[in-house]
Chains A and B, each alone.
Chain A
């Protein structure tokens, strides 16, 4: 059993604190993706789990055992690095089997294992090559095999796919998920690519500036973003945001001069008079006749996505995007009505950016209670 529990972990470099008190519980066998913009402390957190970076304060336990003072090799983790970090002077077989060699496994036994693991990732033809003679994808596989062969309790990935081209990246992503399903080791995967994160994760951890913004399944994170930040970060094309004021009398949020988004009456009553940010995903907006919609936008241009089109509208001084499978041909400047289904209106506090939704705060804490 290798659940990972992270309690109030902080990291400072000199006086700069870069990870500010992170709490996170990862279940045995779970695939957790840590996602966030560059410099938010994802790698730092991962490296603290691995033991490559000292923990400034707080506690990390793997399988119930506090590992703060353990060497990397004693933690039972294997790591796949962004640039693969293969030993350039060793053959593929040497690279894959190095950990076993260090662990003093007998030659014959080791060779058999290397062959088996290499076969499982499709590398058996390349065992005698040096890493320099392999393609990027093959090197990636060697890095994976090197981690797999140790039969680790915990798999750590730090943006392992970011050096591959788009097609190979998707292919390797599937492969990683397949390997995870087969081996069942607890996996922590760092990325800043939301597609990668959404498709791989059992649960996602969204980080921002050294803190966790939200923890949840990809679906939860997408459907109930905990803050404006998460809402804007997850989802592509990204969410539209509008500032407005709640008016309980008409059960709506008033936007700018003449816009109005209807919301459920009891929600409006609870938030009466509040300044809010509303978030509307492009796919939840629809286009209607001018005047018939909640707001009236002026058409700017459309982007062809193949499966649909992304329409850009000007509303007051904002740009709104609408994703639709329908093919319209509007003239630039043409007025189009836009409406939103009340169910899909995300409402956030205008000042703090936190979600104004009774369901949400509970969901954000849920994971922690299980950890204790």
Chain B
């Protein structure tokens, strides 16, 4: 719909610029605060122009929050989530779309239902499982009486235990198993013409070969889009790491950032170090921004799917 009415133009542009301001002004304030000394930050009225302390503050925040370790951890987390999701979602969608078996629809609906159960909703049971990943199996053994049987016959007490707290596995796994990626792949796979699948069959390619040499290369743009979204999601994880990580060696950036934002306990009643907190915010924001900028072209293409 293209209309040439000046009033409409003005209205739409006003809306656009308002939206832009809502997004950009806070970021600007972060930059301003991150580049001033503490007294300047606290000054009233507030100083709205950047100062010259940016590098100093960034350095201080980097050291104070031990970002060297946290960044590595967060990078492992985000990469793990991206890779895990790309692989798991591709395989699930492959199974749902290209194989004609009885479990196809049940599996599809099970995956679908997980959309309604994000991590935040099932965080308590997920924590319980992370504390002992084998506990569901233990329950099965207990309920069916198998553990009793083993105990009675061999005298061995069955106690399965696999603790995932304070580990990368525990951080990554619960975030990998979600439905969004599966759906993105599924939508793309459904657009692949049947004839292409059949041509591959005639050429003698088995299912895995078809997946590897035809489907995956055709879905790179989709994978790039999914990877971008998932990297940002993984990078910004807060609640889950906060819950299961108690060992600072496994801490992640977003959680550490909240510790950098001072409260009465850490400063002992002193003025909070707002300038460092803001500098830390800037640092933590950079990797996702970089990834989005880097992947932007692919990302858009993957989501609107035009090059076919």
Contacts and interface: CB of A to CB of B under 8 A. Distances in A.
A207 interface: no
B201 interface: yes
A191 B200 CA distance: 23
Contacts of A81: 195, 198-199
A73 B201 contact: yes
A77 interface: yes
A98 B209 CA distance: 11
A102 B202 contact: no
A41 to B, nearest CB: 17
B204 A52 contact: no
Nearest to B196: A85
B205 interface: yes
Contact of A99 (B193, B196, B203): B203
Nearest to B308: A88
B26 interface: no
B167 to A, nearest CB: 38
Nearest to A143: B199
Contact of A77 (B196, B202, B205): B202
Interface string B184-213: 000000000101101111111100010000
Nearest to A74: B204
Contacts of B203: 73, 98-99, 102, 146, 150
A89 interface: yes
B195 A82 contact: yes
B198 A99 contact: no
Interface residues of A, number: 24
A330 interface: no
A78 B209 contact: no
A83 interface: yes
Contacts of A84: 195
A83 B204 contact: no
A230 interface: no
B202 A78 contact: yes
B207 to A, nearest CB: 11
A72 B201 contact: yes
A82 B194 CA distance: 12
Interface string A203-233: 0000000000000000000000000000000
Contacts of A88: 218, 308
B202 A50 contact: yes
B308 A73 contact: no
A98 to B, nearest CB: 5
Interface in B75-103: none
A52 B217 contact: no
B217 A89 contact: yes
Query: Which of A78, A85, A146: most chain B Cβ within 10 A?
Result: A85
A88 B308 CA distance: 8
Contacts of B115: none
A103 B199 contact: no
B195 A85 contact: yes
Interface of A: 50-52, 71-73, 77-79, 81-89, 98-99, 102-103, 146, 150
Given A50-B198, A73-B201, A89-B218, 18 more contacts: A52-B201, A71-B201, A72-B202, A73-B202, A73-B204, A78-B202, A81-B199, A85-B193, A86-B199, A87-B196, A88-B218, A88-B308, A89-B214, A98-B203, A99-B203, A102-B203, A102-B205, A102-B209
16 contacts: A50-B198, A52-B201, A71-B201, A72-B198, A72-B201, A73-B204, A77-B202, A81-B199, A85-B193, A85-B195, A87-B196, A89-B214, A89-B218, A98-B203, A99-B203, A102-B203
Interface of B: 193, 195-196, 198-205, 209, 214, 217-218, 308
